[in-house]
Amino acid sequence: MHPDDREAREADFGFERVPWGEKRLRVRGVFDSVASRYDLMNDVMSAGLHRLWKRFTIAKTGLLAGQAALDVGAGSGDLAIGLAQRVGRAGRVVVTDINSKMLGVGRDRMLDAGHAGNVDYVLCDAEALPFATSSFHCATIGFGLRNVTDKDRALASLFQVLKPGGRLLVLEFSKADLGPLAPLYEIYSMQVLPRLGALLANDSASYRYLAESIRRHPDQETLKGMMERAGFERCSYYNLSGGIVALHVGFKL
């Protein structure tokens, strides 16, 4: 897409429609606001399940000691810590985020966990990763893709920086199949979550956006198709917790 065409379009910001170029700035504002309470809110929102989802993701990386891994939209660094444990001191991990406050939180957590020397931190946009072609054996993006304005462009950028044989893992909220519990999940997401944000982080608006952004994110099959169009092969996904979250995996062959 030509840059002028992107600026003329609109993008989803939760349930709002905003100018294409504005979404990036508004997402940055959300994470500036929630950075200091991000881990606490993750635990409260998911009843701690996010730790299991991330552990499952790391187990599917296929990473070996000495390899190179990329974590995009790394947030507070949960996945990055797992990647660093897998590749060891002989390996390399690059941690990126578009938000400087979140990148700082992730860096502090990585250092506290004892990971230094072989970890680099890069402030950048997932849509235009500033790395050489075929740099990484594995890339992860956890709960970040739905915040990206141009998801197709981000997937293409991730494809480019992976080595042949490398894999991408996208961990993201998805379309749940909860049967009779679906109305309760809807109430929790759209009513309880913003109130928790107000109570614990003094910020209901940001958590309302996060809940709404889940509803706007592509469902499992749609995201799988997007990955395939970006060039990934052998794409599949795992529904976790009834599809509340899905882990998509694709390979660059």
3-177+208-251 has which fold? Rossmann fold (3.40.50)
Evaluate if residue 35 carries a pLDDT over 80. Answer: yes
Question: Beta strand 68-72 with 233-240: parallel, antiparallel or unpaired?
Answer: unpaired
pLDDT confidence tier of residue 245, bands split at 50, 70 and 90: very high
Mean pLDDT of 227-244: 98
Contacts of the segment 177-183: beta carbons below 8 A, 24+ positions apart: 177/239, 177/242, 177/243, 178/242, 178/243, 178/244, 181/242
pLDDT tens per residue across span 73-84: 999 999 999 999
**178: which 2 tokens?**
């909860």
What residues does each domain of the chain span? 3-177+208-251
Segment 141-170 mean pLDDT: 97
Interhelix angle 78-87/49-59, rounded to 10 degrees, is 30
pTM of the model: 0.94
